Structure formats: structure tokens, C-alpha cells
């Protein structure tokens, strides 16, 4: 039987990228997203160390991350401008390595996602980027599946308007 430590680290190996991605598209800053990722896991460990029980580790991690993100949103939201994008993206030609290209692609996606209302952005990211089922999203956000679906549809509608 694997120790708690091993299980948590396995979870990290498996979901670190996904959780990082989620945090990034919510707060719009890479460094901040990394901090949130780390804090998500350390807070989860503290919970476990104090004897807390977890049924669905993935959902739990997302819930912790979501709560941390809300705290961040209350303080300050860093701006990413088109200029930043131009600086990094358009001046670098095909010589840009894979990592750089991925980062740029991410930033482009962020430009659209950050225009969404926060409550829509949250579920859109969870549904289509994190690939969570609506049932899981409802569990994470402590909401009903129906409300989650409604938010997803409204979010997509808003995206549609933005993309015109």
C-alpha cells in the first residue's frame, strides 16, 4: 500500500501540468500560477497530515486551487497586453523553439479567455481545457450539475460573441 506521500507525489507527476494550466488561465501570470500550483499541493498535504480524508484526489486538488485563485483575484490582476505578445511572438520567426511557441500559443488563448466573465471562464477552462466532466465540476464548485451546464452554455455564447 503506497504511503500518503507517494500518492500525493504521484498525483503531482500526473496532474501538475493540468493544474498549472488551469491556474495560468485564471490568473493570467506564469509565476503566480506556479506559486498557486505549489500552494495547492502543500495545502493538500497539510490537510492529509492532520488526518483529513480524501475521496477524489483530483477533485480535491482542483477545489483547493479554485479557492486559492479566488483569493488572488480579490487582490490584483496583472495585465497581459498585445504588446507583450507582439514583443515575444511576432518578432521571433520560425527559429523559436518548441517551448517558446507553446508559451505564445498559451498567451494567445489567454487573451480570449480573460475576456470572459469570471464565473464562465472558470467552467469553460474546467470543461474544455482540464477535460473535467460537468459532474466533477459541480462537485469541485459545490454547485449543481444544471447550474454548471447553464454557465458553460452562456460562456460559449459569450466566446462566440467575442470571436465575431
Partner 1 sequence: MIIFEEIIKKAKRLMLTESEKSQIRGAILNIIKETPVRLGSETRLILRPLFLRLALFSLTILTAGAGIAGAENSLPGDLLYPIKTEINEKIRERLALSETAKTSYETGRIERRLEESEQLMLKGRVDKAAEQLIKENLMQRIENIKNKAENIKTEEDLEKAEKVTSRIERAISTHESMIEKILENKKIRSDNLKEDTVKTAVLVIKAEMGASKRETKKLRDEVEKFDKIIKEKKIQRNNNDD
Can you give the binding site for partner 1, defined by CB under 8 A? 1, 3-5, 7-9, 12-13, 16-17, 20-21, 24-25, 34, 37-38, 41-42, 45-46, 48-51, 53-57, 99, 101-103, 105-106, 108-110, 112-113, 125, 127-129, 131, 133-135, 149, 152-153, 156-157, 159-160, 163-164
To partner 1, the closest distance from the beta carbon of 70 in angstroms equals 21
The whole-angstrom separation of Cα 86 and Cα 98 is: 17
**Buried/exposed 134-162: b ≥16 CB within 10 Å, e otherwise:** bebbbbbbeeeeeebeebbebbbebbeee
The whole-angstrom separation of Cα 43 and Cα 15 is: 16
- For partner 1, the closer of residues 12 and 74 by Cβ is 12
Q: For residue 164, give the C-alpha cell.
A: 465575431
To partner 1, the closest distance from the beta carbon of 55 in angstroms equals 5
- For partner 1, the closer of residues 3 and 74 by Cβ is 3
- For partner 1, the closer of residues 74 and 119 by Cβ is 119
- For partner 1, the closer of residues 90 and 128 by Cβ is 128
To partner 1, the closest distance from the beta carbon of 71 in angstroms equals 19
The whole-angstrom separation of Cα 83 and Cα 56 is: 41
Q: Which residues contact 53 (CB under 8 A, 6 or more apart)?
A: none
Amino acid at each position: 500500500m503506497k504511503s500518503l506521500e507517494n500518492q500525493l507525489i504521484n498525483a503531482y507527476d500526473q496532474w501538475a501540468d493540468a493544474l498549472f494550466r488551469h491556474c495560468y488561465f485564471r490568473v493570467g501570470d506564469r509565476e503566480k500560477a506556479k506559486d498557486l500550483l505549489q500552494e495547492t499541493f502543500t495545502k493538500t498535504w497539510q490537510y492529509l497530515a492532520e488526518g483529513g480524508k480524501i475521496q477524489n484526489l483530483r477533485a480535491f486538488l482542483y477545489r483547493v486551487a479554485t479557492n486559492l485563485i479566488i483569493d488572488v483575484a480579490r487582490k490584483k490582476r496583472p495585465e497581459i497586453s498585445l504588446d507583450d505578445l507582439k514583443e515575444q511572438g511576432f518578432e521571433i520567426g520560425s527559429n523559436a523553439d518548441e517551448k517558446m511557441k507553446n508559451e505564445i500559443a498559451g498567451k494567445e488563448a489567454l487573451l480570449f479567455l480573460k475576456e470572459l466573465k469570471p464565473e464562465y471562464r472558470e467552467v469553460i477552462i474546467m470543461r474544455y481545457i482540464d477535460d473535467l466532466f460537468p459532474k466533477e465540476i459541480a462537485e469541485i464548485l459545490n454547485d449543481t450539475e444544471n447550474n454548471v451546464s447553464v454557465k458553460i452554455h452562456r460562456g460559449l455564447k459569450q466566446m462566440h460573441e467575442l470571436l465575431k
